[in-house]
Chain A
Amino acid sequence: MTVSETFLRYLVSIAVFVTALSPVVLILLLIRDWKGKKLW
């Protein structure tokens, strides 16, 4: 595997993983704000 292929593989894999976690974080924050009556 070349350097550029390895770089591409890791870059994209990490980006997909972090993006997949984001909705979970947002929904947890929403539940916290909702319970604390701090939604808006």
Chain B
Amino acid sequence: MNPVNSAVLSAEIGWLILALFSVVWIFLGWFWGRKAKQLDEFMLAGRNVGMALGVATAMATWVTSNTTMAAPQLALQLGIWGMIGYSLGSIGLMLFAPMARRIRTLLPHGYTSGDFMRLRYGKTTWRIFLVISLCYAFGWLISLGMAGGVLIHALTGIPYQLGMTVILTICVIYTLLGGLRAVIGTDFIQTILILVGVVILAWLAIDKVGFADMHSAVLRERPELLNLLMPAAIMFLFNNLLFGIGEIFHSNVWWSRAFAFREGVGFPAYLLAGLMWVPIPIVAGFVALTTPALGLNVPAADMVGPMVAAKLLGVGGAVLVFVIVFSALASSLDSLLAATGDFITQDIYHGHLNKQADEAELRKTAKFVIVGLGVLTWLLCLPRLTTLAGLLYFMGPFVASAIWPIVAGLYSEKANATAASLAMLLGTALGLYSYFAIGFYVAALVGALVSMVIVLAGMVFKPAGFDWQTLNGRRQT
């Protein structure tokens, strides 16, 4: 094995790429956001987003830096099923398609997923949901911020703290300037960059190493990765499916898009985005299987992707992977900043602290919240605490326990508030217990299962009889 110096780009090239991206994204953020004077324009892009931008923003947001960095890591840990398990994350997008249509119909004036929980289940369930959703949002923000720092350090040698600071600052500035319109507009360009980039990388990996050499080297050094019956990997596959569904069903990132898409766009946009997302983790992840053939010694699991690209393609590969991961990172980070900003503004500030706030105050608050989120994320990212996948999967039981309260609440008038609250509390608690007692690959599975039993029992033994018209109201501002 040859140890490889991870810094394959000079710091000067790294800074040059970062500067170019900064100028382009910030200019576009300003350009697209300059007319967003109303709250709906800033938070929901005027509720009129079309099909092309709708598909691209759903794809780009779901292709996170974790897809491009943790997919190779999982391929190296769990083999073929690791890649396939990751790609099952797309099922969440597809299943959200009919929900997006129903959300827009039931809540034509809604802003956040919290609006739904408050109106559907009342304040107690809403507050439990707020805690879960905020924990997840911060978990995701931290993992994205950390990924940014890791990537820049791995490729250019720029210190982790410095790279992470730069990426966060760029995303905060353009989200602040342009709101959701800037997020969705840049998402389209970032999607194209990511797709073209991963295809080039995969093509060159196949061309330079080839399936036969790749397969024989893996078979010789890591035969378990090719085992189609690897038990932990199969468990991971189902766990990841539920994790992905939980993430998408509850998170305001996806709800805000359901509110922002023009009528009739939500269903086809989410469905097509899900279908086109399926192969991306496989394309991004399989390059890790070239490490035995390339004789690479990977010092940290989450650096597999960048190191393989750099080894295969030299400076060009390093630049390419830099652009891919930076785009993936920015497209998710900006979406998360905007959606979490809306969530805190509407559900915490407007819902708890200042119920009489008008539109102008809310718009101003949303901007302060985005800056505050950026600063808080930066502080939490400074100590690099755990590996990317570990941090990501710690959130599994939180989000998986929210699946059933949301689905039952959207489709059945029988779902009741007490059961929904208990489902989220016990689902999270038992899921976390299994995370530590068994492993990360069962946490979401347990969370979702416990939550399902409680919600269904509530519907059978104490049906609620909810009036759907309750969701149709416009909150006073």
Please count how many residues in chain A sit with their CB below 8 Å of the partner chain's CB atoms. 27
What are the interface flags for A1-25 relative to B under an 8 Å C-beta threshold, 1 for contact and 0 otherwise? Answer: 0111101110110111011101101
In Å, the complex CA distance between A7 and B184 comes to 37
**B443 CB to nearest A CB, Å:** 27
What is the predominant secondary structure among interface residues of chain A facing chain B?
helix
What residue of chain A has the Cβ atom nearest to residue B281's Cβ? A15
Q: B45 near A40 (CB under 8 angstroms)? A: yes
Q: B51 near A8 (CB under 8 angstroms)? A: no
Q: A26 near B212 (CB under 8 angstroms)? A: no
Contacts of A22 in B (CB 8 A): 59, 195, 276
The residue that B283 contacts in the complex, of A15, A23, A27, A33, with Cβ under 8 A, is: A15
The residue that A16 contacts in the complex, of B53, B199, B262, with Cβ under 8 A, is: B199
B278 contacts chain A at the CB level, 8 A cutoff: yes
Contacts of A29 in B (CB 8 A): 51-52, 55
Q: B279 near A26 (CB under 8 angstroms)? A: no
Interface size class of B (residues with CB under 8 A): 35 or more
Q: A15 near B52 (CB under 8 angstroms)? A: no
In Å, the complex CA distance between A38 and B49 comes to 8
Q: B226 near A12 (CB under 8 angstroms)? A: no
Residues from 421 to 436 in B contacting A, C-beta threshold 8 Å: none
Contacts of A32 in B (CB 8 A): 51-52
In Å, the complex CA distance between A18 and B262 comes to 27
- Given known A4-B80, A5-B211, A26-B55, contact A38–B50 (CB-CB < 8 A): yes
- Given known A12-B206, A18-B278, A40-B184, contact A33–B80 (CB-CB < 8 A): no
- Given known A26-B55, A40-B48, contact A8–B226 (CB-CB < 8 A): yes
**B230 CB to nearest A CB, Å:** 11
Closest CB pairs A-B (n = 9): A15-B279, A29-B52, A30-B52, A15-B282, A33-B50, A38-B50, A4-B226, A5-B215, A22-B276
Chain B residues proximal to chain A, CB less than 8 Å: 45-46, 48-53, 55-56, 59, 80, 83-84, 87, 181, 184, 188, 191-192, 195-196, 198-199, 202-203, 206, 211-212, 214-215, 219, 226, 228, 262, 272, 276, 278-280, 282-283, 286, 289
Additional A-B contact list (7), CB under 8 Å, known A4-B80, A8-B286, A19-B202: A9-B211, A16-B202, A18-B279, A20-B195, A23-B195, A23-B196, A38-B50
